[in-house]
Amino acid sequence: MTEPRPLPADLDVPQVIVVTGVMAAGKSTVSQLLAERFSRSVHLRGDEFRRMVVRGRAEMSPQGDPEAERQVALRHAIAARTANLYAEAGFTVVVQDLFVGATLEPFLAQVQARPLSLVMLAPDVDTVMRREAERVKTGYKDNWSIRAFDEKVKSETPRIGLWLDSSMQTPEETVDEIVRLLPEARI
């Protein structure tokens, strides 16, 4: 394994970088590789907070469920507070979760750390379908349609930060582009 290239000093500062996108967009892999570029960093996986619920967890569905939406808001509040604490302690925090549609701006409002950047991984639908088929875990189950979810995310999510079509990129190339364009991702 080769060592990641060092970052310019003006980028390697305590900050929060939010990485989001549809399921199977590459958030986990890209977030880990991105966090590895910084001298002091944390990869904060928001989905871990969901998995901590032992009993009573409500899963999101295309039809909507008020309890599932309440639990997503709770998970996002915990992630924002955790990111703030790590950033205060001098870490760059790469927060990875499904922050889309109406959930994005309330989450960002809770992140007090600055600089704050947003990266929306937005590969094309065919790429998402291929990646979903190759994954061990399944994000699109029950009545989820990859195409319908992608359209919903792209039409309902505010166009802020850096939206990156990573369809033709390796994860490493995606991280290189994020680092190169990080000033454009600032919000």
Cα separation values, 95 from 66, 120, 127, 151, 161, Å: 24, 12, 23, 23, 14
Query: What are the phi and psi torsion angles at 186 (to 5°)?
Result: -65, 140
% helix / strand / coil in the chain, to the nearest 5?
45, 15, 40
The number of folded domains in the chain is: 1
pLDDT at 19 over 90: yes
9 occurs within a structural domain: no
4 occurs within a structural domain: no
34 occurs within a structural domain: yes
22 occurs within a structural domain: yes
Least confident of 33-42, 122-131, 142-151: 142-151
Q: Are 116 and 186 in contact, with CB atoms under 8 Å apart?
A: yes
Sign of the torsion angle spanned by Cα atoms 74, 75, 78, 79: negative
93 occurs within a structural domain: yes
SS3 state of residue 96 = strand
**Confidence class of residue 140 from pLDDT cuts 50, 70 and 90?**
low
Average pLDDT of the chain, as a whole number: 92
178 occurs within a structural domain: yes
1 occurs within a structural domain: no
**Confidence class of residue 39 from pLDDT cuts 50, 70 and 90?**
very high
Give the pLDDT confidence of 79-123 residue by residue, as tens digits: 999 999 999 999 999 999 999 999 999 999 999 999 999 999 999
Choice between 48 and 6, residue whose per-residue pLDDT is larger: 48
* Residues 121-136, mean pLDDT to the nearest whole number: 91
The pLDDT assigned to 113 comes to 97
Cα separation values, 168 from 40, 82, 128, 149, Å: 30, 33, 11, 21
Quote the pTM value. 0.93
180 occurs within a structural domain: yes
**Radius of gyration, CA atoms only, the chain:** 16
Residue numbers of the domain that contains 68: 16-185
Specify the CATH number for the domain of residue 87.
3.40.50.300
